[in-house]
Amino acid sequence: MAPSGSRSIKRSCQTVLYWIPVIFITLIVAWSYYAYVVQLCIESIDNIGQKIVYLLAYHVVFILFTWAYWQTIFTKPMNPLKEFHLSYSDKELLEREDRGESQQEILRRIAKDLPIYTRTMSGAIRFCDRCQLVKPDRCHHCSVCDKCILKMDHHCPWVNNCVGFSNYKFFMLFLAYSLLYCIFITATDLQYFIKFWTNGLPDTQAKFHIMFLFFAASMFSVSLASLFVYHCWLVCKNRSTLEAVRAPAFRHGADKNGFSLGLSKNFRQVFGDEMRYWPFPVYSSLGDGCSFPTCLVNQDPEQPTSPGHNPPPNKTHQFPAKPLRESQSRLLNSAPSWTENGGFNPNLSFHVQILVQP
């Protein structure tokens, strides 16, 4: 068999395997719908008013949960813009250079007009050999998707997708509504679960659905609660899962709080400015994913140490180099500014300058 045919079969098998966790979750949710709506509400609950309230509340949560899950799965991760990709001439120039320092000189020349502030831990320009591009801040290459993902958080097998800039809000809502879904089922099923053990339920198949529904919902609630709380903490700190494991490196060194703008601004960067869109899985995040406002917690060692001294104009340019969207500009310029601890800091500036490499 031709090598190309073998690779095609391998990719097809991998595609099928990657969808197995999603299919598993879908089957669990479909069964839970049948068990709750048919076996519990219709077959087991006698009070008509209680039955109507349970069904209405359940379907509201169910719709929001499935909507958020769908959006998380089928929203394509955003990739870096063409400005970050190497031109044909730059690729040839880079390939001809054998020495790492010479290659870094080429990459520094390419990156000097891009809104890039993070570096590798060794201080080098972050470059992706696979995609042949200079990585934007917070961008990482996903080995499963085989592409660079903007503000990559992690690759989630349960949604068969990369969680990043384009769908992180949807992922947060998916966690929130799936947790609410499980808690609602556990709370409303509890009294009938107790009746199961006290022989208060008719001896039908409904009693077994009610028992397993309670066990499944309560177990999923525990795991989802820990995951949801962790990601809420990440949103408050303006970090991704990857950045929580390894702090992003700047010119002055690694800084875990480099992208944090304070609790309110961190939250709005993910969920947007307009409150009416926060509960719904519709896109409302701020920014373009290629550039991010940053607060220098530790001063860049190449910047002047004198608090009243400004760097010479010919040595700096404004970050980011390309204009921000109006929503992101509001995020940067809105006042007052709040620190991580919730206190007002009148001296905190979110206009960051990058020293141009010579």
Contact at 8 Å (CB) between 54 and 45? yes
Whether the pLDDT of residue 253 is over 60: the answer is yes
The per-residue pLDDT for 294 is 86
Identify which has the larger pLDDT, 31 or 358: 31
Kindly give, in sequence order, each residue whose CB lies less than 8 Å from that of residue 105, ignoring residues fewer than 6 positions away. Answer: none
Average pLDDT, the chain: 83
Name, of 107-116, 157-166, 194-203, 336-345, the range with top average pLDDT: 157-166
At 346 the pLDDT is: 36
Which among 41, 131, 139, 156 is annotated as catalytic? 156
- Stretch among 199-208, 232-241, 322-331, 334-343 having the lowest mean pLDDT: 334-343
In the chain, what percentage of residues exceed pLDDT 90?
65
Amino acid 7: pLDDT: 74
Bridge partner list, 317:
354
For residue 153, pLDDT over 90 is answered with yes
pLDDT above 70 (res 60)? yes
pLDDT category of residue 155 using cuts at 50, 70 and 90: very high
* Domain ranges across the chain: 82-135
Tokens 């595609």 map to which residue?
A: 15
Is residue 139 part of the annotated active site? The answer reads no
